[in-house]
Amino acid sequence: MKIVITESDMQFGEYQEYIQEIVEKMRHSLNLYANIVLKRYSQDGMPDQLKDAENLNMRLILIVKNAEIAWLDPFRDKFRKELRKEMRIWKIPDFIILNEEQARKKQFIL
């Protein structure tokens, strides 16, 4: 039996790996934030409004530097699916993905 891996298979595998790396970083960030709010880690340097998660209206925002606009909707759908449990637990209403140009217009980056 011969298994052939095409270039498109490699690209799909790299895409999946890229998505999983970002998902893992998002999960780790949420876990770190939870531990800071629980005072298991220092709250030094945190703004007061972030120290209490009870009334926090949180959004997940990902900026993909060189993303074309056409890529953003499929990316957002993929991340929403991957992070659906975390978004439900944290009551996060949306996952926003922007490219660099959009992020500059919204003043998320300078």
pLDDT digits (tens, 9 = 90+) for 43-92: 998 888 888 777 788 889 999 888 888 888 988 999 999 999 999 999 99
SS (H, E, C) the chain: CCCCCCHHHHHHHHHHHHHHHHHHHHHHHHHHHHHHHCCCCCCCCCCHHHHCCCCCCCCEEEEECCCCHHHHHHHHHHHHHHCHHHHHHHCCCCEEEEEHHHHHHCCCCC
Q: Residue 74 phi/psi, 5° resolution?
A: -60, -40
Strand partners, 99: 64
pTM for this entry: 0.77
Q: pLDDT value at position 98?
A: 93
State residue 8's pLDDT score: 52
Residue 10, pLDDT above cutoff 80: no
